[in-house]
Structure 1
Amino acid sequence: MTRLEPGEHAPDFTLTEDHGTAVSLRDFRGRKVIVYAYPKAMTPGCTTQACDFTQSLDRLQAHGYDVVGVSPDSPAALAKFRERDHLTTTLLSDPDKTMLTAWGAFGEKKNYGKIVQGVIRSTFVLDEAGTITHAWYNVKATGHVAKLRRDLGLDAAPGPTS
């Protein structure tokens, strides 16, 4: 199974957003972007993670980051998820799991002690040129966004320091 590493150029993708618009990774060139893969909208862990990203979005954007969540859910399911939980991050649908597979976020994983095929909860941080600066696989839904912010040094005020 492919695992992306820091320093690699992120594979491009074009996926459909929850309201039907096609979004490509190249649309984010010139900005830093956090891409997170999650198994299923409206499940407890995925809801926690998506809400944590939404609650941190102002801080992340203040540091120049866009946030994109990707799951195999349909655009209609993602739209329901956004509305139900008041999510403000970009949500993309990858029903055939092409992007998720290319990024190493789909494959064998343990689920309740059994080996299954599924989405591997993962987070990737890309710089303005689309190069991966951080890649985390098998992340926990709870507390991951706070850890991400700490690891990236984003809890300090943005802008120049004197």
Structure 2
Amino acid sequence: MSTPRLDVGQTAPAFTLPDADGTPTTLAGLLEAHGRVLVYVYPAALTPGCTTETVEFEAALQELQEAGIGVVGISPDPPAKLTRFRDKHHITFPLLSDPDKTMLTEWGAFGEKKNYGKTVMGVIRSTFVVDADGTLSLARYNVRATGHVAMIAKLLDIALPQPVEG
């Protein structure tokens, strides 16, 4: 049984999820605030891969916002864990909680996946860009945490600052 996936051109399913402070956040509200929204789904806050990915999104936030794109991260973590994650890594964009995995399932980001050669149920690391009219202009599944932001920026034709060699 495979998980249904969203495709470019489809309308993104609406959601209302609590942020790290427990404040309900809607896709419609994010679109109203930003015009376009990059939604990335990650398995668990405070883990090495998810931390790398989230910190890279934070580092690219100014360039994404200048391109008219807001960013939101979504995981099944409870708001209290998201607060610790946000505060520890100085994340300034919303981190949303989907503990019952309703949104994750509707977006095709929770279901069967391969983990060390075994088929398991879990969060599928994914990235979407939702345009102002609510349609998807990008839908990527099974992305890698490291280098993910650079790959998305390249797909969106957004130049990111190069890291300074120390």
TM-score, normalized by the shorter chain, greater than 0.5: yes
Structure-2 residue corresponding to 1:26: 28
Cα distance in 1 between the residues matched to 2:96 and 2:144: 20
Q: Quick check: 1:40 aligned with 2:44?
A: yes
Paired with 1:4 and 1:12, the residues of 2 have a C-alpha distance of 13
Provide the C-alpha distance between the structure 2 equivalents of 1:87 and 1:112, rounded to a whole number of angstroms: 30
Question: How far apart in 2 are the matches of 1:82 and 1:113?
Answer: 32
What is the CA-CA distance between 1:28 and the residue it aligns to?
A: 2.3
Q: Specify the alignment match of 1:14 in structure 2.
A: 16
- Check the 8 A contact 1:53/1:89 in 2, yes or no: no
Match of 1:114 among 114, 118, 130: 118
Kindly provide the CA deviation profile for residues 19-74 of structure 1, in whole angstroms up to 9, marking residues without a partner as x: 11100101023410000000000000000000000000000000010001000000
Aligned counterpart for 2:5 among listed residues 3, 6, 17? 3
Separation of aligned partners in 2, 1:66 and 1:116: 32
Equivalent pairs, count: 157
Among residues 60, 72, 77, which one is paired with 1:73 in the alignment? 77
Give the equivalent residue in structure 1 for 2:142. 138
2:86 maps to which of 82, 89, 104: 82
Aligned-pair Cα RMSD in Å: 1.2
Q: In structure 2, what is the Cα distance between the partners aligned to 1:88 and 1:28? A: 14
- For structure 1, the 5+ residue unaligned runs are 157-162
- Give the Cα–Cα distance (whole angstroms) in 2 for the partners of residues 45 and 29 of structure 1: 27
Distance 2:61 2:78 in 1: 23
**Unpaired runs of at least 5, structure 2:** 161-166
Partner of 1:160: none
- Identical-pair percentage: 56
State the distance in 2 between where 1:2 and 1:15 align. Answer: 21
SS of alignment partner, residue 145 of structure 2: coil
CA distance in 1, matches of 2:93, 2:60: 10
Residue in structure 2 matched with residue 62 of structure 1 by the alignment: 66
